[in-house]
């Protein structure tokens, strides 16, 4: 079992304290950021057949009475207006950024900023995956965090995690943070 797969299962194991517990995660970001690749990696699926998401993908994993529901919603400009329809009852938001696509940092920052202001996401923890760190042109996660003004999000927990969805590098650390955040909220 790979590092990313162990990460997902360790999250489920840590969250299984109460039976029948369900965790709803919404996975967002601009098109081509790597959202579907990340989700397929977590679900141990083949990564050779990834195509742009036209709508959404849902992956559910059940273990010992726990259910982790991850909603991967397409990031094309014409789909983004529908993101808000999927935010109700979200426990955690994962926002994926292509760290090597500097031309779109302003656009992705604006989208994230608008999401954070949504009433349905008030207080919801945010994990930003700074994806594609394997590329030579990738900006470091700390630089992206500063550019996104993540330090201004004081009404919620947040974390930025450098990763490469293709290899799974950094994904385990993000999944561990998700588990810790969710477990702290449920205390």
Predicted pLDDT at 184: 57
Q: Where are the domains of the chain?
A: 3-185
**According to the annotation, is 134 in a ligand binding site?**
yes
CATH 3.40.50.300 describes domain 3-185: yes
How far apart are the C-alpha atoms of 64 and 13, rounded to whole Å? 8
Tell me which residue of 90, 95, 46 sits closest to 68, measured CA to CA.
Answer: 90
Question: 7: which 2 tokens?
Answer: 């990460």
Residue 15 annotated as binding site: no
Separation CA 166–CA 181 (nearest Å): 25
pLDDT digits (tens), the chain, 187 positions:
555 555 566 655 655 544 446 789 999 999 999 999 998 888 778 888 777 777 787 888 643 344 678 888 889 999 899 999 999 999 999 999 999 999 999 999 999 999 999 999 999 999 999 999 999 999 999 999 999 999 999 999 999 999 999 999 998 888 888 777 665 555 5
Q: Is 132 annotated as a binding residue?
A: yes
Provide the whole-model pTM: 0.85
Instruction: State the Cα–Cα distance between residues 43 and 149, nearest whole angstrom.
Output: 31
Catalytic amino acids? Answer: 76
Which among 74, 112, 107, 108 has a CA at the least distance from the CA of 93? 112
Question: What pLDDT score was predicted for residue 19?
Answer: 47
């Amino acid at each position: 079992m790979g590092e990313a797969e162990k990460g997902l299962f360790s999250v489920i194991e840590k969250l299984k304290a109460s039976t029948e517990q369900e965790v709803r995660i919404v996975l967002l970001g601009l098109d081509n950021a790597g959202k579907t690749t990340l989700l397929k990696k977590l679900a141990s699926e083949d990564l050779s057949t990834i195509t742009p998401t036209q709508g959404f993908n849902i992956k559910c994993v059940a273990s010992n009475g726990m259910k982790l529901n991850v909603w991967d919603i397409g990031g094309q400009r014409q789909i983004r207006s529908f993101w808000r329809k999927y935010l109700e009852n979200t426990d955690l938001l994962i926002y994926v950024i292509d760290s090597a696509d500097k031309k779109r940092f302003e656009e992705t920052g604006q989208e994230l900023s608008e999401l954070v202001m949504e009433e349905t996401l008030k207080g919801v923890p945010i994990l930003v995956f700074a994806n594609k760190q394997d590329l030579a042109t990738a900006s470091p996660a700390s630089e992206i965090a500063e550019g996104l003004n993540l330090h201004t999000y004081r009404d919620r927990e947040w974390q930025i995690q450098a990763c490469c969805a293709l290899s799974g590098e950094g994904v385990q650390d993000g999944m561990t943070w998700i588990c810790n955040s969710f477990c702290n909220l449920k205390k």
